[in-house]
Chain A
């Protein structure tokens, strides 16, 4: 399987199964239209007939020989040999946990998937006892995994910061005896950040995600307090202070773009102006009926904006003023292994979410629908059958993904989005899927442009 596309004057050919990325001149690029999953020793008559008149004989012959060489090296139309691994992936250790430390929030963002902070389950803070048991559960179920991640999430985790600190202290006190390395992360809206909390986060959290939607007018339209007022003026100075004192530790300023700001490159550049250079900006995922939702009709505009953003990134990098946009990061040489790429996030299998009541869900986005509940930390229940179902949820269990060129880049997308909007974890959420493909195309184009 291959995917060919042209962007910014480059002609790309991606060979899905080997992971090869090629830049083509016009003649071989055009020839691919007359080849079907192989490069035979003799070119098909139709190919020769169509090329003659457009290219000279030497060019045609040379191009075809190069295609044959790639084919014989396994870098073009290479076979899919991965399905055998997909069926073997059962019951992996749990290595990652989203700890919903607060089902409460001091903002009421319009687009919040957590039903404005409480996930539709009532406002509640996690007691330390639940957090402690969650750490025990993670250690016990992580088996041989050394690196364990815990993300403090909500709602707004700073509303229960004393428990955050207690959980961190507890995990640190026992990690060595179990030969584990905890990596803590936190996702915050910033309202309750103080100097003490900034120091603590910068000391203890290996990554932090700071929520801000960009320009003040954009941010304050949807990221509002209970009284309807925007949060930009309060949180921006705090985020700036946090980032200025963070050193080289990871962070992301993370925003959501909606139909209201399809010119989101301006919001990204606003982050840069504010001093942030680690950036994530995501399309809103929401009910198409809502006025801010991105729908099929918006896609051409969003694609255009991604191309614009890609060009801005290239230009800034060349000027030595680059910034990192999470969704355009791609390591073409040594990215994740094929096994990782088969099932992506691995929610419900390697990754779970724990609520303040101790309920276990496949991930934070499944919280709120009890039919997805997998067990409870306090009573020790855990549905291994559900875990095994998620373990076998991979690009080969998803018909739309199995034959998609982008399957090793996105790994089948977000299972929760698939379920929420397509009613089936095995059915790709169409809009997310189209946006992801466009981002991959742009990300690869950036690599080519910067390699010149």
Chain B
């Protein structure tokens, strides 16, 4: 494509099927404790 560039693999839908293992950190435990940001968390599922 010449006029549009996609920056990522966009695998959110796929992740819904393989996800949900729950081994990741609770999002507000890591650095904030006063808000909730989730997109910056690490995935810990080795099988994804």
Contacts and interface: CB of A to CB of B under 8 A. Distances in A.
Interface of A: 13, 15, 17-25, 27-28, 59, 62-63, 66-67, 69-70, 74-75, 78, 81-82, 85, 92-93, 95-96, 98, 113, 145-147, 149, 151, 153, 183, 185, 187, 207, 209, 250, 252, 254, 256, 280, 282-283, 285, 326-341, 344-347, 350-351, 363-365, 408-415, 417, 432, 436, 439-440, 443-444, 447-448, 451
Contacts of A365: 34
Contacts of B18: 337
Would you call the interface of chain A mostly helix, strand, loop, or mixed?
Answer: mixed
Interface in B3-22: 3-13, 15-16, 18-22
19 contacts: A17-B12, A19-B13, A20-B8, A23-B7, A24-B3, A69-B1, A147-B23, A185-B29, A187-B33, A285-B34, A329-B40, A331-B39, A338-B19, A345-B36, A351-B29, A410-B36, A411-B27, A412-B36, A436-B35
A63 to B, nearest CB: 5
A257 B4 CA distance: 38
B16 A82 contact: yes
Interface residues of B, number: 44
B3 A66 contact: yes
A149 B4 contact: no
Contact of B31 (A17, A66, A254, A439): A254
A341 B26 contact: no
Given A25-B4, A448-B7, A341 B35 contact: no
Given A22-B7, A326-B40, A439-B37, A17 B32 contact: no
B42 to A, nearest CB: 8
Contact of A209 (B1, B11, B33, B42): B33
Nearest to B28: A345
Contacts of B16: 81-82, 85, 337-339
A414 B35 contact: yes
From A209, A340, A412, A440, name the one whose CB has the most chain B CB atoms within 10 angstroms.
Answer: A340
B26 A346 contact: yes
A352 to B, nearest CB: 10
A326 B43 contact: no
